[in-house]
Structures are given as C-alpha cells and as structure tokens.
Amino acid sequence: MKLRLGLDIGGTKMEAAILATHPEGNDVVARERIPTQREEGFESVFKRMLDLIASVINQNGTDIGELKSIGVGLPGAVDPKTQKMLNGNTSLFIGHDLASLLKKALNYSGPIGIANDANCFALAEAMLGVGKKHAEEQRTTPEKLTSIGIILGTGVGGGLIVEGRALEGKSGGAGEIGHTQLDPNGPECFCGRRGCAETFLSGKGLESWYAARYKEQYFAMQIFDRALMQDKKAIEALEIYRKYLDQFMLNLINFFDPDFLVLGGGVSLQPAIYEGLEERVWKKTFIPYTHPRIYQNMLGDSAGVIGAALISPLEKAHR
C-alpha cells in the first residue's frame, strides 16, 4: 500500500487528505479541512498548512517518512519548472518556493509537487471520479482518455487531462479557459480583456452582469432559485447563461476534442445548467459525430485534495 498526501489551498479553506493506493483501488484514510485565513499573511498560512499536515498524519498513525509523495494544489498558474505560483486570485502564494519550504519544515526527503488547483480537480475526476465510470462504460481505462475539468465557482478555471496527465503548458498557463473570450463587448475582466468566460459563467460574474442588466442584486444561487419560481428576469438570465455556456462548451470541444467534460464548483450544482446542454452542443460541433459527454462531478468539493495527492507522482520530478 502506498500513502500519498494531498493539500488543497483555496482562498477561504484549506484541506489535507491521505490517499492510500492498493491493488483494489484508492481510499481516503484521513482528511481534515480548516479556514485558510489568508488575510493573516503568508507566514501564518504556511504555519496552518504545517499544522494541518501534522493533524492528518496523526489521524492515520502515519510517519512523514512513510509518505510516497506530497502534492499541493494552489489557486493559480504554477510554473512547471520552478513550481512557483505565477498568478492567481490568492496572491500571497505568488513567488514562494513551497516545495523547498515544505521539505525543510517537514524534514521530508520524498517528492513534492505543486500544481494548479483546477488541474488537481480535473485529474481526480478523470482518474477516480466520472472518468473511471466513463472508461468502464467505454470498455477502456481512464489513462487512455482525454478530458476537460471545468470549475464554475467564484471564478472559472479548468484542467486538461491527456492520458492520465495534466497538460501544464510551457509556463504553467495551460487550462486558463476562464479567460477565453465569449463576447468582445462584454464586461471587463480583471485580466484586462472583455467578455471572458469568467465574467459570464462564474458565480461572481453572473451576479455582476445580472445587477448591471436588471438593477437588482442577488447571489448566483438566488438567481437560479428565482428562475425556478418563474421570475421573468431570472428566467431570462438563465437563458443568457445557457447561451454563453453552450458557446463555451463548443469552443472547448472544437479545440480539444475530448472524450468527456466534467463540471465542478458551486454553479455546477445547479441542475438547470444541464437541461438540454448536451443535445444543444452536439448539434453544433465541428465534427458532426462528436458527442462528448458533459458530467456533473462525482467527488464533490474534495476532488481538489484528492487530485493533489495524485498529481505529484504523475507530474513532478523528484526534488
């Protein structure tokens, strides 16, 4: 049995888990989640990371030296060579050599991998979530499939999985699909462009353009709830959302030709976004017989930490 530790660091919470790999499969044998408290600064957050790692190790009665690897998912682009975060919405991690800091603080000599959190989500779902189910239905293995993991949450992110590996790109910027343009005249995005997918399809994006269009302020989940209650403005907003989601899915399918796509994040929990989605998209793909499935995630909001545990031995060199 091999033990791998994953750490998923977000803007509001951090989670650690130990994944046990054995001939029968993979099991999470210890897991814990705590607030990130990023407003306290890097040093404080790093100490909380160490305390969290110690806690899950103690839960499992494991010694640090028994871990085959440690993987860390961060909310931003990570340079595959230096393993430093280059950009992201939780800026306190930018430029820090977390792998080296963790090795020293933990007195750990094994491999440590640092990766984008959306890549971790996509890898977990591809290998242990919907990808495993899809592969069984197709009578193949997850390693032979190409998939796209899409996070529709506070922002929009993504991970591209090809034959069991996350595609990182030269500088770690592969999968920044939230900043593909859907409307050049759309809302201004923090990246400097207009009409990015994130400005329409994220929870924050939906809230912002709804407020600008209807002069009413609601949370994204409230907008979906109001649509269920037959509120005319919310129904119209849902139709606009679906239009941009269709366009987004088509762009990704035409560009990458995946076996399937899987959606995660808070917005992905809304059944309304899936109604007729596959049928509408399949009618417009460039290759007429391309019918990739579009799934809701299976692993829930712990997919990131499971993917972090998986990504280090698959993706990163021994440091």
**pLDDT tens by residue, 45-79:** 999 999 999 999 999 888 999 999 999 999 888 99
What is the DSSP-derived secondary structure letter of residue 142? G
**pLDDT tens by residue, 117-158:** 999 999 999 999 999 999 999 999 999 999 999 999 888 999
**pLDDT confidence bin for 316, thresholds 50/70/90:** very low
Number of Cβ atoms within 10 Å of the Cβ of 280: 15
**pLDDT confidence bin for 319, thresholds 50/70/90:** very low
Q: Answer yes or no: do 308 and 231 share one domain.
A: no
Cα-based angle 180, 178, 34 (whole degrees, multiple of 5): 170
Q: Answer yes or no: do 204 and 96 share one domain.
A: no
Q: Answer yes or no: do 287 and 165 share one domain.
A: yes
Q: Which domain holds residue 210?
A: 141-298
CATH number of the domain at 74, please.
Answer: 3.30.420.40
What is the DSSP-derived secondary structure letter of residue 317? -
252, 258 Cβ separation under 8 angstroms: yes
Handedness of CA 153, 156, 157, 160 (dihedral sign): positive
Nearest to 38 by CA among 80, 78, 94: 94
- The rounded distance, in Å, linking the Cα atoms of 25 and 189 is 42
Q: Answer yes or no: do 98 and 146 share one domain.
A: no
Nearest to 70 by CA among 7, 159, 1: 7
Query: Would you list the DSSP string of 275-287?
Result: TTHHHHHHTT-SS
Q: Answer yes or no: do 16 and 96 share one domain.
A: yes
**Does residue 318 surpass a pLDDT of 70?**
no
**Does residue 89 surpass a pLDDT of 80?**
no
- The rounded distance, in Å, linking the Cα atoms of 22 and 299 is 19
98, 83 Cβ separation under 8 angstroms: yes
Number of domains in the chain: 2
